[in-house]
Amino acid sequence: VSVTPSDRRIAVIGTGHVGSTVAYALMLRELAGEIVLLDANAELAAAEAHDIEHANALARRARIWAGDYAEAASASIAVITAGATMNTAAESRLSLVNRSAAIVRSCVGALTAAGFGGIIVIASNPVDIMAQLAHEISGMPAGRVIGTGTLVDSARLRSLLGTKLGVDPQSVVAYVLGEHGDSELAAFSLAQAGAIPVRALRAHDPLDEVAIEDDVRRAGLRIFEGKGYTSFGVASAAVRICEAIVWDEHAVMPVSALLTGQYGISGVYLSLPCVVGAAGVDRIMAPQLDDDELRRLRASASVLEATHAALRDAQSVDV
Ligand SMILES: NC(=O)c1ccc[n+]([C@@H]2O[C@H](COP(=O)([O-])OP(=O)(O)OC[C@H]3O[C@@H](n4cnc5c(N)ncnc54)[C@H](O)[C@@H]3O)[C@@H](O)[C@H]2O)c1
């Protein structure tokens, strides 16, 4: 049964910088008639709900309120942004793992216990590990637990390439793959504009791929240094995933999903181009990579596997 956006409820769990921006963008983009906000800090959730509710008087009508897990349980999508944050730009996303895991475990545990049957979109960092944890704790099929992954990095890559090539970033197809973090890779062999590989387009004047990739990788940190957090990029990524789900788009986007043998990798969440629709991740694509990209993707998977294993060991010590 298709549910029109006005009947649709989306829950946003964690209403800090990222979550409040997600809720605001969901409202402006008219993706849900009901948006329920939850945060461990109930006053914060209530204040953000009121602020967005008042903004909504100037937009298409939606109901926005601060609620509880019983109300979130009937949502068709839960966007989870509750998590630990970096204290300094020098801290790696992976170092947040234990603190974030405790938070994500409690949110997903409460959501599942309340009978949630929708799709989880998660942005909490380290996002690949947190998506995998959410999948494991919820017991939901992997396709219904989606990490924002490298969608935001890929948007940055497309934006940079668009500027260099003098074309609209929307007309650039380019993917950052692997971990959303230090081991990610920009797959230049796949990058295209106007159905022409970017490398062929610039054969006479090759792009400095290392510098572009570095720029993409550091973009989040540069923003963090300037404003103390990042919000609009990742929130737009989470909302774009919600949009593909709401409209059953079957859009191809790089998001974090559980690999099942692609490139010989399985049992780990990382970003590859995925087909996203009403059921979540419908399919994971494995485009042909060059040897160096393949080696780096496998190395990225190994980093995530090791972090996931360390988290599992820490959890079993906790028990
Ligand atoms: N994936 C990405 O690209 C990306 C980008 C930016 C931030 N992030 C991550 O998103 C998360 C949120 O970042 P932020 O800047 O909004 O942080 P923030 O500190 O502003 O917000 C986090 C919120 O989570 C809430 N919270 C903590 N424990 C909770 C719990 N058990 N239940 C419900 N709410 C709880 C806190 O009260 C806080 O309001 C972090 O993990 C951050 O690293 C991811």
> Which helix (H) or strand (E) segment is 147 a member of?
strand 145-147
Q: Which amino acid is at 77?
A: I
17 is catalytic: no
Cα–Cα distance, 109 to 97 (Å, whole number): 17
Contact between 128 and 149 under an 8 Å Cβ cutoff? The reply is yes
3-state secondary structure at position 185: strand
3-state secondary structure at position 8: coil
Greatest CA separation found in the chain?
60
The finding on whether 230 has its CB within 6 A of some atom of ligand 1 is yes
Backbone conformation region of residue 84, classed left if phi is above 0, alpha if psi is from -120 to 50, else beta: beta
Q: Which amino acid is at 317?
A: V
Cα–Cα distance, 15 to 41 (Å, whole number): 9
User: Which residue's alpha carbon is at the smallest distance from atom 9 of ligand 1?
Assistant: 124
* pLDDT at residue 319 greater than cutoff 50: no
Cα–Cα distance, 64 to 308 (Å, whole number): 36
For ligand 1, what atom is nearest to the CA of residue 231? 6
Q: pLDDT tens for residues 263-297?
A: 999 999 999 999 999 999 999 999 999 999 999 99
The finding on whether 81 has its CB within 6 A of some atom of ligand 1 is yes
* pLDDT at residue 91 greater than cutoff 80: no
For ligand 1, what atom is nearest to the CA of residue 229? 15
Please report which confidence band the pLDDT of residue 1 belongs to, taking 50, 70 and 90 as the band edges.
very low
For residue 172, give both structure tokens.
């650039």
